Structure 1
Protein backbone atom coordinates (compact mmCIF):
# COMPACT_ATOMS: atom_id res chain seq x y z
CA UNK A 1 0.00 0.00 0.00
CA UNK A 2 2.91 2.33 0.65
CA UNK A 3 4.03 1.95 -2.92
CA UNK A 4 0.56 2.67 -4.18
CA UNK A 5 0.38 5.77 -2.01
CA UNK A 6 3.69 7.03 -3.40
CA UNK A 7 2.52 6.50 -6.94
CA UNK A 8 -0.70 8.35 -6.24
CA UNK A 9 1.21 11.24 -4.71
CA UNK A 10 3.44 11.71 -7.74
CA UNK A 11 0.48 11.54 -10.09
CA UNK A 12 -1.19 14.39 -8.26
CA UNK A 13 2.00 16.42 -8.31
CA UNK A 14 0.86 18.82 -5.61
CA UNK A 15 1.37 19.11 -1.87
CA UNK A 16 -2.22 20.30 -1.54
CA UNK A 17 -3.26 16.67 -1.17
CA UNK A 18 -1.17 16.31 1.97
CA UNK A 19 -2.59 16.76 5.43
CA UNK A 20 -1.23 19.84 7.24
CA UNK A 21 1.87 19.06 9.28
CA UNK A 22 2.12 15.51 7.95
CA UNK A 23 4.01 14.09 4.98
CA UNK A 24 1.33 11.45 4.41
CA UNK A 25 -1.18 12.29 1.63
CA UNK A 26 -4.65 12.94 3.02
CA UNK A 27 -6.17 10.17 0.91
CA UNK A 28 -3.85 7.75 2.71
CA UNK A 29 -4.96 8.93 6.16
CA UNK A 30 -8.64 9.83 5.81
CA UNK A 31 -11.25 7.29 4.82
CA UNK A 32 -13.50 9.85 3.09
CA UNK A 33 -10.89 10.96 0.53
CA UNK A 34 -10.39 8.93 -2.63
CA UNK A 35 -6.89 8.21 -3.89
CA UNK A 36 -6.11 9.21 -7.49
CA UNK A 37 -6.59 5.59 -8.56
CA UNK A 38 -10.15 5.63 -7.20
CA UNK A 39 -9.53 3.55 -4.08
CA UNK A 40 -10.21 4.20 -0.40
CA UNK A 41 -6.91 3.22 1.17
CA UNK A 42 -8.30 2.93 4.70
CA UNK A 43 -10.71 0.26 3.46
CA UNK A 44 -7.80 -1.56 1.83
CA UNK A 45 -5.92 -1.35 5.12
CA UNK A 46 -8.94 -2.82 6.91
CA UNK A 47 -8.72 -5.81 4.56
CA UNK A 48 -5.02 -6.07 5.43
CA UNK A 49 -5.94 -6.11 9.12
CA UNK A 50 -8.23 -9.09 8.48
CA UNK A 51 -5.47 -11.06 6.78
CA UNK A 52 -2.65 -10.00 9.10
CA UNK A 53 -4.55 -11.30 12.13
CA UNK A 54 -3.21 -14.66 10.97
CA UNK A 55 -6.39 -16.76 11.14
CA UNK A 56 -8.37 -18.45 8.37
CA UNK A 57 -12.07 -19.36 8.29
CA UNK A 58 -14.10 -21.61 6.00
CA UNK A 59 -17.85 -21.73 5.43
CA UNK A 60 -19.94 -24.14 3.35
CA UNK A 61 -23.64 -24.23 2.52
CA UNK A 62 -25.23 -27.58 1.71
CA UNK A 63 -28.65 -28.62 0.48
CA UNK A 64 -30.09 -28.84 3.98
CA UNK A 65 -27.45 -27.31 6.25
CA UNK A 66 -24.68 -24.77 6.62
CA UNK A 67 -21.42 -24.92 8.53
CA UNK A 68 -18.51 -22.63 9.41
CA UNK A 69 -15.06 -23.56 10.69
CA UNK A 70 -12.52 -21.08 12.03
CA UNK A 71 -9.24 -20.95 13.89
CA UNK A 72 -9.43 -19.72 17.46
CA UNK A 73 -6.08 -17.95 17.17
CA UNK A 74 -3.09 -17.69 14.86
CA UNK A 75 -0.73 -20.67 14.95
CA UNK A 76 2.17 -18.22 15.20
CA UNK A 77 1.04 -17.05 18.65
CA UNK A 78 3.79 -17.94 21.13
CA UNK A 79 1.78 -17.67 24.36
CA UNK A 80 1.90 -21.28 25.59
CA UNK A 81 0.04 -20.38 28.79
CA UNK A 82 -3.03 -19.10 26.94
CA UNK A 83 -6.27 -20.97 27.59
CA UNK A 84 -7.55 -21.42 24.03
CA UNK A 85 -11.05 -22.20 25.32
CA UNK A 86 -11.32 -18.53 26.31
CA UNK A 87 -10.67 -17.43 22.71
CA UNK A 88 -13.70 -17.47 20.44
CA UNK A 89 -14.65 -15.84 17.17
CA UNK A 90 -17.93 -17.75 16.81
CA UNK A 91 -21.06 -16.02 18.15
CA UNK A 92 -24.71 -17.09 18.38
CA UNK A 93 -26.72 -14.04 17.30
CA UNK A 94 -30.24 -15.46 17.52
CA UNK A 95 -31.48 -18.96 18.18
CA UNK A 96 -31.20 -19.73 14.46
CA UNK A 97 -28.42 -17.45 13.22
CA UNK A 98 -24.70 -17.54 13.95
CA UNK A 99 -21.75 -15.32 13.08
CA UNK A 100 -18.08 -16.16 12.61
CA UNK A 101 -15.84 -13.08 12.78
CA UNK A 102 -12.45 -13.19 11.07
CA UNK A 103 -10.00 -10.36 11.74
CA UNK A 104 -9.45 -8.09 14.73
CA UNK A 105 -10.96 -9.91 17.71
CA UNK A 106 -12.23 -6.77 19.43
CA UNK A 107 -14.01 -5.58 16.30
CA UNK A 108 -15.63 -9.01 15.98
CA UNK A 109 -16.97 -8.96 19.54
CA UNK A 110 -18.32 -5.43 19.13
CA UNK A 111 -20.03 -6.40 15.86
CA UNK A 112 -21.59 -9.49 17.44
CA UNK A 113 -22.99 -7.48 20.35
CA UNK A 114 -24.48 -4.85 18.04
CA UNK A 115 -25.93 -7.60 15.85
CA UNK A 116 -27.61 -9.18 18.89
CA UNK A 117 -29.13 -5.85 19.86
CA UNK A 118 -30.33 -5.26 16.30
CA UNK A 119 -31.94 -8.70 15.99
CA UNK A 120 -33.63 -8.26 19.38
CA UNK A 121 -35.12 -4.93 18.26
CA UNK A 122 -36.24 -6.54 14.99
CA UNK A 123 -38.03 -9.34 16.83
CA UNK A 124 -39.67 -6.88 19.24
CA UNK A 125 -40.89 -4.69 16.36
CA UNK A 126 -41.99 -7.33 13.84
CA UNK A 127 -42.72 -10.38 15.97
CA UNK A 128 -40.39 -12.84 14.24
CA UNK A 129 -36.67 -13.54 14.01
CA UNK A 130 -34.49 -11.50 11.67
CA UNK A 131 -33.65 -13.62 8.59
CA UNK A 132 -29.95 -14.28 7.86
CA UNK A 133 -29.97 -12.21 4.67
CA UNK A 134 -31.49 -9.20 6.46
CA UNK A 135 -28.84 -9.44 9.17
CA UNK A 136 -26.11 -9.67 6.53
CA UNK A 137 -27.46 -6.55 4.83
CA UNK A 138 -27.54 -4.68 8.15
CA UNK A 139 -23.91 -5.63 8.87
CA UNK A 140 -22.92 -4.47 5.37
CA UNK A 141 -24.79 -1.17 5.83
CA UNK A 142 -23.03 -0.68 9.17
CA UNK A 143 -19.65 -1.22 7.53
CA UNK A 144 -20.45 1.07 4.61
CA UNK A 145 -21.40 3.95 6.91
CA UNK A 146 -17.89 3.76 8.40
CA UNK A 147 -16.43 4.62 4.98
CA UNK A 148 -18.34 7.92 4.79
CA UNK A 149 -17.39 9.75 7.99
CA UNK A 150 -14.02 11.00 9.22
CA UNK A 151 -15.06 10.27 12.80
CA UNK A 152 -15.31 6.54 12.07
CA UNK A 153 -12.92 3.88 10.84
CA UNK A 154 -13.65 0.76 8.79
CA UNK A 155 -14.09 -2.38 10.85
CA UNK A 156 -11.15 -4.77 10.58
CA UNK A 157 -13.32 -7.86 10.40
CA UNK A 158 -15.15 -9.98 7.83
CA UNK A 159 -18.31 -11.64 9.14
CA UNK A 160 -19.67 -14.99 7.97
CA UNK A 161 -23.40 -15.21 8.70
CA UNK A 162 -25.16 -18.56 8.56
CA UNK A 163 -28.69 -19.66 9.33
CA UNK A 164 -31.93 -21.12 8.00
CA UNK A 165 -34.36 -18.85 6.18
CA UNK A 166 -37.78 -19.63 7.68
CA UNK A 167 -39.70 -18.40 4.64
CA UNK A 168 -37.58 -20.12 1.98
CA UNK A 169 -36.73 -23.05 4.28
CA UNK A 170 -33.18 -23.13 2.95
CA UNK A 171 -29.76 -22.74 4.57
CA UNK A 172 -27.94 -19.48 3.89
CA UNK A 173 -24.31 -18.40 4.10
CA UNK A 174 -23.12 -14.81 3.66
CA UNK A 175 -19.89 -12.85 3.98
CA UNK A 176 -19.91 -9.16 4.95
CA UNK A 177 -16.70 -7.20 4.35
CA UNK A 178 -15.19 -3.87 5.55
CA UNK A 179 -16.22 -2.12 2.33
CA UNK A 180 -19.91 -2.62 3.11
CA UNK A 181 -20.48 -5.43 0.63
CA UNK A 182 -22.25 -8.70 1.37
CA UNK A 183 -22.51 -11.82 -0.79
CA UNK A 184 -24.18 -15.21 -0.57
CA UNK A 185 -21.98 -18.27 -1.03
CA UNK A 186 -22.05 -21.99 -1.63
CA UNK A 187 -18.62 -22.04 0.01
CA UNK A 188 -16.23 -19.32 1.11
CA UNK A 189 -13.00 -18.68 2.94
CA UNK A 190 -11.73 -15.54 4.66
CA UNK A 191 -8.46 -14.59 6.28
CA UNK A 192 -4.74 -15.22 6.14
CA UNK A 193 -4.81 -18.19 3.74
CA UNK A 194 -8.18 -17.61 2.08
CA UNK A 195 -6.96 -18.00 -1.49
CA UNK A 196 -5.47 -21.42 -0.85
CA UNK A 197 -8.63 -22.61 0.89
CA UNK A 198 -10.88 -21.25 -1.88
CA UNK A 199 -8.86 -23.09 -4.52
CA UNK A 200 -9.34 -26.30 -2.54
CA UNK A 201 -13.07 -25.68 -2.07
CA UNK A 202 -13.66 -24.87 -5.74
CA UNK A 203 -12.27 -28.24 -6.79
CA UNK A 204 -14.30 -30.14 -4.19
CA UNK A 205 -17.57 -28.26 -4.76
CA UNK A 206 -17.28 -28.73 -8.52
CA UNK A 207 -17.63 -32.48 -8.04
CA UNK A 208 -20.39 -32.27 -5.43
CA UNK A 209 -22.23 -28.93 -5.61
CA UNK A 210 -25.24 -29.96 -3.47
CA UNK A 211 -24.35 -31.58 -0.16
CA UNK A 212 -26.66 -33.14 2.42
CA UNK A 213 -26.17 -32.64 6.15
CA UNK A 214 -24.01 -35.76 6.78
CA UNK A 215 -21.83 -34.71 3.86
CA UNK A 216 -21.74 -31.12 5.05
CA UNK A 217 -20.52 -32.20 8.47
CA UNK A 218 -18.27 -35.03 7.38
CA UNK A 219 -16.96 -33.64 4.15
CA UNK A 220 -17.44 -29.90 4.50
CA UNK A 221 -17.86 -28.60 8.02
CA UNK A 222 -15.39 -30.80 9.77
CA UNK A 223 -14.03 -33.59 7.68
CA UNK A 224 -12.55 -33.85 4.22
CA UNK A 225 -13.67 -30.47 2.92
CA UNK A 226 -13.49 -27.74 5.57
CA UNK A 227 -10.88 -29.29 7.84
CA UNK A 228 -8.87 -30.43 4.86
CA UNK A 229 -9.28 -26.99 3.29
CA UNK A 230 -7.85 -25.37 6.43
CA UNK A 231 -5.07 -27.94 6.71
CA UNK A 232 -4.30 -27.57 3.01
CA UNK A 233 -4.14 -23.79 3.35
CA UNK A 234 -2.11 -23.83 6.56
CA UNK A 235 0.09 -26.78 5.53
CA UNK A 236 -0.30 -28.45 8.92
CA UNK A 237 -2.66 -30.63 10.95
CA UNK A 238 -5.16 -29.06 13.33
CA UNK A 239 -6.16 -29.95 16.88
CA UNK A 240 -9.71 -29.91 18.22
CA UNK A 241 -8.84 -27.13 20.67
CA UNK A 242 -7.48 -24.92 17.88
CA UNK A 243 -10.67 -24.61 15.84
CA UNK A 244 -14.35 -23.96 16.44
CA UNK A 245 -17.28 -25.11 14.35
CA UNK A 246 -20.84 -23.85 14.05
CA UNK A 247 -23.64 -25.73 12.29
CA UNK A 248 -27.29 -25.18 11.47
CA UNK A 249 -29.65 -27.74 9.92
CA UNK A 250 -32.91 -27.49 8.05
CA UNK A 251 -34.59 -30.17 10.20
CA UNK A 252 -33.09 -28.61 13.36
CA UNK A 253 -32.64 -24.90 12.60
CA UNK A 254 -31.07 -24.04 15.96
CA UNK A 255 -27.55 -22.69 15.52
CA UNK A 256 -25.13 -24.85 17.49
CA UNK A 257 -21.38 -24.67 18.10
CA UNK A 258 -19.84 -28.15 18.26
CA UNK A 259 -18.05 -29.23 21.41
CA UNK A 260 -14.33 -30.02 21.50
CA UNK A 261 -15.19 -33.71 21.92
CA UNK A 262 -17.36 -33.67 18.79
CA UNK A 263 -14.65 -31.91 16.81
CA UNK A 264 -12.08 -34.41 18.04
CA UNK A 265 -14.22 -37.31 16.82
CA UNK A 266 -14.31 -35.84 13.34
CA UNK A 267 -10.58 -35.20 13.34
CA UNK A 268 -9.98 -38.83 14.27
CA UNK A 269 -12.21 -39.87 11.38
CA UNK A 270 -10.07 -37.76 9.04
CA UNK A 271 -6.90 -39.47 10.20
CA UNK A 272 -8.47 -42.90 9.77
CA UNK A 273 -9.64 -42.04 6.25
CA UNK A 274 -6.12 -40.90 5.38
CA UNK A 275 -4.66 -44.17 6.63
CA UNK A 276 -7.17 -46.14 4.61
Structure 2
Protein backbone atom coordinates (compact mmCIF):
# COMPACT_ATOMS: atom_id res chain seq x y z
CA UNK A 1 0.00 0.00 0.00
CA UNK A 2 2.75 2.41 0.94
CA UNK A 3 4.54 1.63 -2.33
CA UNK A 4 1.47 2.60 -4.36
CA UNK A 5 1.10 5.83 -2.38
CA UNK A 6 4.74 6.74 -3.03
CA UNK A 7 4.36 5.92 -6.72
CA UNK A 8 1.24 8.08 -6.96
CA UNK A 9 2.99 11.01 -5.26
CA UNK A 10 5.93 10.73 -7.66
CA UNK A 11 3.58 10.74 -10.65
CA UNK A 12 1.83 13.85 -9.36
CA UNK A 13 5.16 15.66 -8.98
CA UNK A 14 6.16 14.80 -12.55
CA UNK A 15 2.79 15.98 -13.83
CA UNK A 16 3.06 19.24 -11.90
CA UNK A 17 6.57 19.89 -13.25
CA UNK A 18 5.52 19.32 -16.87
CA UNK A 19 5.06 22.64 -18.71
CA UNK A 20 1.56 23.38 -20.02
CA UNK A 21 0.86 22.50 -23.63
CA UNK A 22 0.45 26.16 -24.57
CA UNK A 23 4.11 26.65 -23.63
CA UNK A 24 5.28 23.93 -26.01
CA UNK A 25 2.98 24.17 -29.02
CA UNK A 26 2.84 26.87 -31.70
CA UNK A 27 -0.87 26.16 -32.27
CA UNK A 28 -2.18 26.57 -28.70
CA UNK A 29 -3.04 29.88 -27.04
CA UNK A 30 -2.21 30.47 -23.40
CA UNK A 31 -5.03 31.35 -20.97
CA UNK A 32 -3.93 34.98 -21.38
CA UNK A 33 -4.42 34.75 -25.16
CA UNK A 34 -0.75 34.63 -26.15
CA UNK A 35 1.22 32.24 -28.35
CA UNK A 36 4.35 31.69 -26.27
CA UNK A 37 6.47 30.24 -29.08
CA UNK A 38 5.97 33.46 -31.09
CA UNK A 39 6.93 35.52 -28.03
CA UNK A 40 10.04 33.37 -27.60
CA UNK A 41 10.94 33.90 -31.26
CA UNK A 42 10.66 37.68 -30.85
CA UNK A 43 12.83 37.62 -27.73
CA UNK A 44 15.41 35.32 -29.31
CA UNK A 45 16.16 37.96 -31.97
CA UNK A 46 18.10 39.77 -29.23
CA UNK A 47 20.25 36.69 -28.54
CA UNK A 48 22.41 37.48 -31.57
CA UNK A 49 23.79 40.34 -29.46
CA UNK A 50 23.58 43.04 -32.14
CA UNK A 51 21.49 46.17 -32.69
CA UNK A 52 20.16 47.42 -36.02
CA UNK A 53 18.83 50.88 -36.90
CA UNK A 54 16.86 52.12 -39.92
CA UNK A 55 15.96 55.72 -40.78
CA UNK A 56 13.77 57.05 -43.61
CA UNK A 57 14.55 60.53 -44.89
CA UNK A 58 12.83 62.78 -47.42
CA UNK A 59 14.45 61.07 -50.41
CA UNK A 60 16.40 58.11 -49.02
CA UNK A 61 16.53 55.24 -46.54
CA UNK A 62 19.54 54.10 -44.52
CA UNK A 63 19.81 50.80 -42.64
CA UNK A 64 22.75 50.03 -40.41
CA UNK A 65 23.65 47.06 -38.23
CA UNK A 66 26.47 45.66 -36.19
CA UNK A 67 28.19 42.67 -37.68
CA UNK A 68 27.89 39.34 -35.90
CA UNK A 69 31.00 38.73 -33.86
CA UNK A 70 33.03 35.90 -35.36
CA UNK A 71 33.71 32.87 -33.16
CA UNK A 72 37.17 32.67 -31.66
CA UNK A 73 38.59 30.70 -34.59
CA UNK A 74 41.54 32.32 -36.40
CA UNK A 75 40.94 30.14 -39.46
CA UNK A 76 37.45 31.50 -40.13
CA UNK A 77 36.98 33.98 -42.98
CA UNK A 78 35.05 36.82 -41.34
CA UNK A 79 34.29 38.31 -44.77
CA UNK A 80 32.15 35.26 -45.53
CA UNK A 81 28.45 35.99 -46.18
CA UNK A 82 27.62 33.83 -43.15
CA UNK A 83 28.41 36.87 -41.01
CA UNK A 84 26.33 39.33 -43.08
CA UNK A 85 22.87 40.68 -42.28
CA UNK A 86 22.21 42.92 -45.31
CA UNK A 87 20.86 41.37 -48.50
CA UNK A 88 20.16 42.78 -51.95
CA UNK A 89 16.81 41.26 -52.95
CA UNK A 90 16.67 42.98 -56.34
CA UNK A 91 18.73 45.80 -57.76
CA UNK A 92 16.41 48.28 -56.01
CA UNK A 93 15.18 46.36 -52.97
CA UNK A 94 17.19 45.66 -49.84
CA UNK A 95 16.52 43.60 -46.74
CA UNK A 96 18.15 43.69 -43.32
CA UNK A 97 17.71 40.50 -41.30
CA UNK A 98 18.29 40.94 -37.57
CA UNK A 99 18.44 37.67 -35.66
CA UNK A 100 19.61 34.19 -36.62
CA UNK A 101 21.83 34.55 -39.74
CA UNK A 102 20.74 31.19 -41.19
CA UNK A 103 17.06 32.17 -41.01
CA UNK A 104 17.90 35.54 -42.53
CA UNK A 105 19.68 33.99 -45.51
CA UNK A 106 16.83 31.53 -46.11
CA UNK A 107 14.24 34.32 -45.96
CA UNK A 108 16.31 36.52 -48.29
CA UNK A 109 16.58 33.77 -50.90
CA UNK A 110 12.83 33.18 -50.80
CA UNK A 111 12.27 36.93 -51.17
CA UNK A 112 14.59 37.03 -54.20
CA UNK A 113 12.63 34.25 -55.87
CA UNK A 114 9.32 35.97 -55.17
CA UNK A 115 10.55 39.37 -56.42
CA UNK A 116 11.98 37.81 -59.60
CA UNK A 117 8.68 36.01 -60.25
CA UNK A 118 6.75 39.24 -59.69
CA UNK A 119 8.87 41.13 -62.22
CA UNK A 120 8.59 38.33 -64.77
CA UNK A 121 4.80 38.22 -64.40
CA UNK A 122 3.99 41.92 -64.20
CA UNK A 123 6.93 43.59 -65.94
CA UNK A 124 7.91 46.01 -63.18
CA UNK A 125 9.78 46.03 -59.88
CA UNK A 126 8.02 44.61 -56.83
CA UNK A 127 7.13 47.55 -54.53
CA UNK A 128 8.76 47.51 -51.07
CA UNK A 129 5.38 47.42 -49.33
CA UNK A 130 4.25 44.40 -51.33
CA UNK A 131 7.47 42.52 -50.55
CA UNK A 132 7.07 43.31 -46.85
CA UNK A 133 3.47 42.07 -46.92
CA UNK A 134 4.57 38.86 -48.67
CA UNK A 135 7.20 38.28 -45.98
CA UNK A 136 4.54 38.92 -43.35
CA UNK A 137 2.25 36.32 -44.92
CA UNK A 138 5.08 33.77 -44.93
CA UNK A 139 5.89 34.46 -41.29
CA UNK A 140 2.25 34.38 -40.18
CA UNK A 141 1.63 30.94 -41.71
CA UNK A 142 4.46 29.57 -39.57
CA UNK A 143 2.51 30.53 -36.43
CA UNK A 144 -0.41 28.24 -37.36
CA UNK A 145 1.19 24.87 -38.15
CA UNK A 146 2.63 22.53 -35.54
CA UNK A 147 5.20 21.16 -38.00
CA UNK A 148 6.88 24.56 -38.40
CA UNK A 149 8.61 27.05 -36.16
CA UNK A 150 8.60 30.86 -36.49
CA UNK A 151 11.56 32.54 -38.14
CA UNK A 152 13.99 33.81 -35.52
CA UNK A 153 14.52 37.03 -37.41
CA UNK A 154 13.00 40.48 -37.91
CA UNK A 155 13.16 41.54 -41.57
CA UNK A 156 13.56 45.23 -42.44
CA UNK A 157 12.64 46.01 -46.07
CA UNK A 158 13.81 49.21 -47.76
CA UNK A 159 13.47 50.64 -51.25
CA UNK A 160 11.99 53.38 -53.42
CA UNK A 161 8.37 53.02 -54.48
CA UNK A 162 8.49 53.57 -58.26
CA UNK A 163 4.86 54.70 -58.52
CA UNK A 164 4.92 57.19 -55.64
CA UNK A 165 8.61 58.08 -55.95
CA UNK A 166 9.05 57.95 -52.18
CA UNK A 167 11.39 55.95 -49.91
CA UNK A 168 9.79 53.09 -47.98
CA UNK A 169 10.79 51.40 -44.73
CA UNK A 170 8.95 48.38 -43.32
CA UNK A 171 9.58 45.71 -40.69
CA UNK A 172 8.16 42.20 -40.43
CA UNK A 173 8.46 40.33 -37.12
CA UNK A 174 8.22 36.56 -36.37
CA UNK A 175 4.45 36.87 -35.85
CA UNK A 176 4.02 38.24 -39.38
CA UNK A 177 3.15 41.76 -38.26
CA UNK A 178 4.18 44.29 -40.92
CA UNK A 179 4.68 47.94 -39.93
CA UNK A 180 5.82 51.04 -41.78
CA UNK A 181 8.27 53.38 -40.04
CA UNK A 182 9.91 56.77 -40.18
CA UNK A 183 12.69 55.22 -38.14
CA UNK A 184 13.10 52.09 -36.03
CA UNK A 185 15.54 49.81 -34.28
CA UNK A 186 15.68 46.03 -33.76
CA UNK A 187 17.90 43.88 -31.59
CA UNK A 188 19.68 43.88 -28.26
CA UNK A 189 19.36 47.58 -27.40
CA UNK A 190 16.45 48.51 -29.65
CA UNK A 191 14.50 50.46 -27.01
CA UNK A 192 17.46 52.71 -26.20
CA UNK A 193 17.99 53.44 -29.90
CA UNK A 194 14.28 54.12 -30.46
CA UNK A 195 14.18 56.59 -27.58
CA UNK A 196 17.21 58.36 -29.08
CA UNK A 197 15.52 58.51 -32.51
CA UNK A 198 12.25 59.82 -31.08
CA UNK A 199 14.03 62.69 -29.38
CA UNK A 200 16.43 63.45 -32.24
CA UNK A 201 13.74 63.41 -34.95
CA UNK A 202 11.06 65.28 -33.01
CA UNK A 203 12.03 68.64 -34.50
CA UNK A 204 12.80 67.47 -38.04
CA UNK A 205 11.75 64.18 -39.59
CA UNK A 206 12.32 65.32 -43.19
CA UNK A 207 16.01 64.51 -43.48
CA UNK A 208 18.40 64.91 -46.39
CA UNK A 209 20.47 61.95 -47.58
CA UNK A 210 23.47 62.96 -45.48
CA UNK A 211 21.30 63.70 -42.44
CA UNK A 212 19.58 60.33 -42.80
CA UNK A 213 22.90 58.46 -42.69
CA UNK A 214 24.16 60.56 -39.80
CA UNK A 215 20.95 59.99 -37.83
CA UNK A 216 21.18 56.21 -38.26
CA UNK A 217 24.85 56.04 -37.29
CA UNK A 218 24.34 58.39 -34.33
CA UNK A 219 21.51 56.22 -32.99
CA UNK A 220 23.63 53.08 -33.26
CA UNK A 221 26.67 54.81 -31.77
CA UNK A 222 24.49 55.92 -28.85
CA UNK A 223 23.93 52.30 -27.76
CA UNK A 224 27.41 50.92 -28.49
CA UNK A 225 29.89 50.14 -25.76
CA UNK A 226 33.08 52.21 -25.64
CA UNK A 227 35.61 50.06 -27.46
CA UNK A 228 39.07 51.28 -28.48
CA UNK A 229 39.10 48.82 -31.38
CA UNK A 230 35.85 50.17 -32.80
CA UNK A 231 32.80 48.30 -34.06
CA UNK A 232 32.38 46.72 -37.49
CA UNK A 233 29.07 47.65 -39.10
CA UNK A 234 27.14 47.10 -42.32
CA UNK A 235 25.47 50.09 -43.98
CA UNK A 236 22.82 49.92 -46.69
CA UNK A 237 21.38 52.93 -48.53
CA UNK A 238 18.95 53.64 -51.35
CA UNK A 239 18.14 57.10 -52.78
CA UNK A 240 15.33 58.49 -54.90
CA UNK A 241 17.68 59.95 -57.52
CA UNK A 242 19.79 56.76 -57.55
CA UNK A 243 17.39 53.96 -56.55
CA UNK A 244 19.99 51.19 -56.40
CA UNK A 245 20.40 49.45 -53.05
CA UNK A 246 24.07 49.68 -52.07
CA UNK A 247 25.94 48.24 -49.10
CA UNK A 248 29.28 49.04 -47.52
CA UNK A 249 31.30 47.81 -44.54
CA UNK A 250 32.67 50.34 -42.08
CA UNK A 251 34.21 50.57 -38.64
CA UNK A 252 32.87 53.20 -36.26
CA UNK A 253 33.86 54.33 -32.78
CA UNK A 254 31.80 55.34 -29.79
CA UNK A 255 33.63 58.68 -29.65
CA UNK A 256 34.99 59.64 -33.11
CA UNK A 257 37.98 61.91 -33.47
CA UNK A 258 37.36 65.62 -33.95
CA UNK A 259 36.80 66.39 -37.62
CA UNK A 260 36.23 62.74 -38.52
CA UNK A 261 33.28 62.08 -40.79
CA UNK A 262 30.57 59.99 -39.22
CA UNK A 263 31.18 57.22 -41.74
CA UNK A 264 34.97 57.44 -41.91
CA UNK A 265 36.47 54.10 -41.10
CA UNK A 266 38.20 51.01 -42.28
CA UNK A 267 36.97 48.62 -44.91
CA UNK A 268 34.92 49.04 -48.06
TM range (shorter): 0.7 to 0.9
Q: Deviations over 1:30-51 (max 9, x none)?
A: 1010000100000001011101
Q: Which of the residues 57, 79, 89 maps onto 1:85? A: 79
Counterpart in the other structure of 2:223? 233
CA-based RMSD: 2.3
- 8 Å CA contact 1:160–1:175 kept in 2: the answer is yes
Q: Greater share of helix residues, 1 or 2?
A: 1
Name which of structure 1's ranges 82-91 and 195-204 shifts more when overlaid on structure 2. Answer: 82-91
Counterpart in the other structure of 1:34? 29
Please state how far the C-alpha of 1:235 moved relative to its aligned partner. Answer: 2.8
- 8 Å CA contact 1:89–1:108 kept in 2: the answer is yes
- 8 Å CA contact 1:59–1:67 kept in 2: the answer is yes
Q: Deviations over 1:14-44 (max 9, x none)?
A: xxxxxx9x92211111101000010000000
User: Hey, what's the Cα distance between the residues in 1 that align with 2:231 and 2:225?
Assistant: 18
Secondary structure (helix, strand or coil) at the match of 2:134 reads: helix
- 8 Å CA contact 2:222–2:254 kept in 1: the answer is no
Q: Deviations over 1:222-246 (max 9, x none)?
A: xxxx222222213335867711000
TM-score (norm 1): 0.82
Q: Which of the residues 115, 121, 134 maps onto 2:111? A: 115
User: Hey, what's the Cα distance between the residues in 2 that align with 1:241 and 1:234?
Assistant: 8
Counterpart in the other structure of 1:130? 126
Q: Which of the residues 234, 237, 247 maps onto 2:237? A: 247
Counterpart in the other structure of 1:195? 191
Q: Deviations over 1:88-133 (max 9, x none)?
A: 0100001101000000111000000000000011111111110000
Note the residue ranges of structure 1 that are not aligned, 5 or more in a row.
1-19, 221-225
Secondary structure (helix, strand or coil) at the match of 1:107 reads: helix
User: Hey, what's the Cα distance between the residues in 2 that align with 1:106 and 1:62?
Assistant: 30
Counterpart in the other structure of 2:258? 272
Q: Deviations over 1:53-78 (max 9, x none)?
A: 1111000000000010011114xx65
Are 1:145 and 2:141 counterparts?
A: yes
Q: What is the aligned residue count? A: 243
Please state how far the C-alpha of 1:174 moved relative to its aligned partner. Answer: 0.6
Note the residue ranges of structure 2 that are not aligned, 5 or more in a row.
1-14, 262-268
Are 1:47 and 2:42 counterparts?
A: yes
- 8 Å CA contact 1:169–1:250 kept in 2: the answer is yes
- Spell out structure 1 runs of 4+ moving beyond 4 A: 237-241, 266-270
- 8 Å CA contact 2:66–2:231 kept in 1: the answer is no
User: Hey, what's the Cα distance between the residues in 2 that align with 1:238 and 1:250?
Assistant: 36
TM-score (norm 2): 0.84
